[in-house]
Chain A
Amino acid sequence: MDRKPLIQRKTGISYKTEEKTVLRGFDVRELANAGYTFIDGLYILFQGRIPAENERAMLDYEVAEFLEHSMSPSAAAAIGVMNGHPMLPAAVGASIATFGGAHGPGAQHGYMMKKYLDRAVLEHKTVEQVAVECVDEYMDAGRAVMGMGQPQHLDGDPRAEPTHLKQEEIGVVGVYLKFQRALEKRFYARRFAEGRSYVAVNMIGAGNTALSDMGFSPNAAWTIGCVTRGYSCSCHALFTLKKGRAWGASRNEPMVQMLDLSMIKYIGPEDREVPLQSEREAYAMNELKTGEFKKWVI
Chain B
Amino acid sequence: MGDLKDIAVNRMTGKVCDERIATMKHAKRRVIGNLGNPNLLFDYTNREIGTLPDDNRAHFKWVSEVAYKNIHRIVTRGYDTTELVEAGYGVCDVLFIDFQARIPLVEEKKVLDYILLVGLEDGLSNPALVARLVARGKSYLTQAAGASVFAFGEAYGAFKNFGYMLEKYYNKIAEEGLSAADAAALCVKECYHEDHFGIDSKYVKDPTPKDLMAYAEKALAGKKELKYIPFLKEVVKAAQAEIGYVEADFMAAATAAMMDLDFTPDAAWCIMGVTRAFSAGAHVCEEIERECEREGFDTYGKTLTPKEWYDGPTDRPVPSLAERGEFKGGQAQTPEEWKKMWDRKAKELSGSGFAIDFVLDDARKVVHGKKK
Residue positions of A touching B, CB distance < 8 A: 1-6, 8-18, 22, 24-27, 30-31, 33-36, 45-55, 86-87, 89-90, 93, 97, 100-102, 105, 107-108, 111-112, 114-115, 117-118, 120-121, 127, 138, 143-146, 154-156, 158, 161-162, 165-166, 169, 171-175, 188, 198, 200, 213-220, 223, 256, 258-259, 261, 263-272, 274-277, 280-281, 283-285, 287-288, 293-294, 296-298
Contact = CB atoms under 8 A, between A and B. Distances in A.
Interface string B317-334: 111110011011111111
Given A12-B310, A266-B67, A272-B78, A284 B103 contact: yes
B97 to A, nearest CB: 9
Nearest to A153: B17
A8 B309 CA distance: 8
B71 interface: yes
B101 A296 contact: yes
B56 interface: no
A102 B313 CA distance: 37
A117 B67 contact: no
A48 B349 contact: yes
B302 A5 contact: no
Contacts of B156: none
Contact of A263 (B34, B62, B331, B369): B62
Contact of A283 (B103, B315, B363): B103
A143 B17 CA distance: 23
B320 A34 contact: yes
A90 B143 contact: yes
Given A49-B330, A144-B363, A175 B310 contact: no
Given A17-B306, A127-B335, A27 B88 contact: no
Given A112-B360, A175-B334, A268 B64 contact: yes
B107 to A, nearest CB: 9
Contact of B267 (A33, A158, A269, A298): A298
Contacts of A112: 360, 363
Nearest to A283: B103
B80 interface: yes
Interface in B327-372: 327-339, 341-342, 345, 348-354, 356, 358, 360, 362-367, 369
B318 A102 contact: no
B10 A198 contact: yes
Contact of A268 (B66, B302, B304, B329): B66
Contact of B324 (A16, A53, A280): A53
B25 interface: no
Interface string B1-33: 000000000101101011000000000000001
Contact of B68 (A120, A266, A283): A266
B44 interface: yes
Contacts of A264: 61-62, 64, 68-69
Contacts of A288: 102, 105, 224
Given A111-B360, A261-B70, 14 more contacts: A3-B302, A11-B310, A16-B304, A24-B312, A24-B349, A53-B325, A93-B147, A162-B40, A174-B333, A213-B331, A214-B331, A217-B353, A265-B64, A297-B100
Contacts of B69: 261, 264
A143 B362 contact: yes
A54 B324 CA distance: 11
A64 to B, nearest CB: 13
Nearest to A44: B313
Contact of B264 (A5, A173, A298): A298
9 contacts: A89-B143, A175-B335, A258-B62, A265-B63, A269-B78, A277-B88, A284-B102, A287-B102, A298-B267
B33 A162 contact: yes
Given A17-B306, A144-B364, A155-B10, A11 B312 contact: yes
Given A48-B352, A127-B335, A165-B37, A265 B312 contact: no
A281 B61 contact: no
A285 B87 contact: no
A274 B334 contact: no
A93 B77 CA distance: 31
Contacts of A97: 150
B303 A5 contact: yes
A274 B313 contact: no
A175 B338 contact: yes
B306 A5 contact: yes
B79 A55 contact: no
A223 B17 CA distance: 32
Nearest to A14: B305
B106 interface: yes
B289 interface: no
B142 interface: yes
Contacts of A107: 358, 367
A281 B105 contact: yes
Contacts of B13: 198
A220 B66 CA distance: 38
B353 A218 contact: yes
Contact of B105 (A11, A27, A285): A285
